[in-house]
Amino acid sequence: MERSEVFERVVKNAADVFAADAGTISEETLIVEDLEADSLARVEFLMALEDEFDLVIEEEVASQATTIGKVTDLVVENLGANA
Amino acid sequence: MSPLAELDRPNSQRVVITGLGAVTPAGLSVKETWETVLTGASMAAPITAWDASEEPVNFACEVKGFDPLAVMDRAEARRTDRVTQLGVAAAAEAMSDAGALSADPERIGTLVSTGIGGQSTVYDGAITCENKGTRRVSPFFVPATMPNAISAAIAMVHGLKGPSLCICTACAAGTHSIGEAARMIRSGSADVMLAGGAEATVHKLPMGAFWRMGALSTRVDDPSSACRPFDADRDGFVMGEGAAVVVLERLDLAVERGANIYAEVRGYGLTSDAYHITSPSEDGEGIRRCMRHAVSDAQLQPADIVHVNAHGTSTPLNDLIEGNAVAKELGEQAIVTSTKGVTGHCIGAAGAIEAVLATLTLRDNVIPPTANLANLDPKIPISIVSGQPMELNGDAVISNSLGFGGHNASLCLTRY
* Residue B306: C-alpha distances to residues B309, B358, B396 (Å): 10, 12, 6
Tell me which residue in A16, A44, A51 faces B140 most closely, judged by beta carbons. A44
Work out the burial of residue B99: count CB atoms within 10 Å of its CB; fewer than 13 is exposed, 13-18 middle, 19 or more buried.
Answer: middle
Which of the four pLDDT bands, split at 50, 70 and 90, describes residue A82? low
Q: Mean pLDDT score of chain A, rounded to an integer?
A: 93
Query: Does the CB of A22 have a partner CB in chain B at under 8 Å?
Result: no
Q: What SS3 state is found at B215? A: coil
> Tell me, what's the ipTM?
0.85
Give one DSSP letter per residue of B349-415, joined into a string: GHHHHHHHHHHHHHHHTEEPPBTT-SSB-TT----B-BSS-EE--SSEEEEEEEETTTEEEEEEEE-
Q: State the catalytic residue, choosing from B61, B166, B168, B171.
A: B171
CA distance A5 to chain B (A): 24
Segment B293-299 shows an average pLDDT of: 98
Which of the four pLDDT bands, split at 50, 70 and 90, describes residue A80? confident
Rounded CA separation B186/B180 (Å) = 10
Quick one: pLDDT at residue A81? Answer: 74
For residue B411, which phi and psi values (nearest 5 degrees)? -110, 135
Rounded CA separation B291/B128 (Å) = 45
Rounded CA separation B316/B374 (Å) = 15
Rounded to 10 deg, the angle between the A39-53 and A3-18 helix axes is 140
For residue B161, which phi and psi values (nearest 5 degrees)? -110, 15
Quick one: pLDDT at residue A12? Answer: 97
Chain A interface test: which of B69, B71, B76, B79 (most A C-beta within 10 Å)? B79
List, in sequence order, the alpha helices (H) in A1-83.
3-18, 39-53, 59-62, 68-82
Rounded CA separation B226/B233 (Å) = 9
Nearest CA in chain A to B139: A40
Quick one: pLDDT at residue B265? Answer: 98
Rounded CA separation B369/B184 (Å) = 33
CA distance B73 to chain A (A): 7
Is the CB of residue B376 less than 8 Å from the CB of residue B350? no
Segment A17-32 shows an average pLDDT of: 96
Domain positions in chain B are 11-256, 267-414
Nearest of B12, B19, B15 to residue B297 by alpha carbon: B15
Nearest CA in chain A to B73: A19
Nearest of B172, B184, B364, B139 to residue B270 by alpha carbon: B172
Amino acid, res. B69: L
Taking residue B59's Cβ as centre, other Cβ atoms within 10 Å add up to 26
| Same fold for the pair B11-256 and B267-414 | yes
Segment B208-218 shows an average pLDDT of: 97
Q: What is the pLDDT of residues B129-158, one digit of tens each?
A: 999 999 999 999 999 999 999 999 999 999
Rounded CA separation B126/B137 (Å) = 8
| CATH of the domain spanning A3-82, picked from 3.40.190.10, 3.30.420.10, 1.20.200.10, 1.10.1200.10 | 1.10.1200.10
Q: Mean pLDDT score of chain B, rounded to an integer?
A: 97
| Parallel/antiparallel/unpaired status of strands B45-46 and B241-250 | unpaired
CA dihedral B201, B211, B59, B127 (to 10 degrees): 50
How does DSSP classify residue B71? T
Question: Which has more pLDDT, A52 or A81?
Answer: A52
Query: Does the CB of B143 have a partner CB in chain A at under 8 Å?
Result: yes
* Residue B24: C-alpha distances to residues A10, A20, B239, B334, B347 (Å): 39, 31, 12, 26, 12
B172 pLDDT higher than 60: yes
Taking residue B255's Cβ as centre, other Cβ atoms within 10 Å add up to 15
B104 pLDDT higher than 70: yes
Q: What SS3 state is found at B246? A: strand
Query: Does the CB of B279 have a partner CB in chain A at under 8 Å?
Result: no
Segment B229-246 shows an average pLDDT of: 98
| CATH of the domain spanning B267-414, picked from 3.30.1370.60, 3.40.50.12170, 3.40.47.10, 3.30.470.20 | 3.40.47.10
Q: What is the pLDDT of residues A59-79, one digit of tens each?
A: 889 989 999 999 999 999 999
Nearest of B251, B223, B249 to residue B237 by alpha carbon: B223
A18 pLDDT higher than 80: yes
Q: What percent of chain B has pLDDT over 70?
A: 100
Chain B interface test: which of A40, A50, A51 (most B C-beta within 10 Å)? A40
Domain positions in chain A are 3-82
- Look up the CATH number of domain B11-256: 3.40.47.10
Rounded CA separation B78/B135 (Å) = 19
pTM of the model: 0.96
Which of the four pLDDT bands, split at 50, 70 and 90, describes residue B313? very high
B118 pLDDT higher than 80: yes
Is the CB of residue B347 less than 8 Å from the CB of residue B113? no
Query: Does the CB of A10 have a partner CB in chain B at under 8 Å?
Result: no
B1 pLDDT higher than 90: no
CA distance B78 to chain A (A): 9
A83 pLDDT higher than 60: no
Rounded to 10 deg, the angle between the B173-186 and B350-364 helix axes is 70
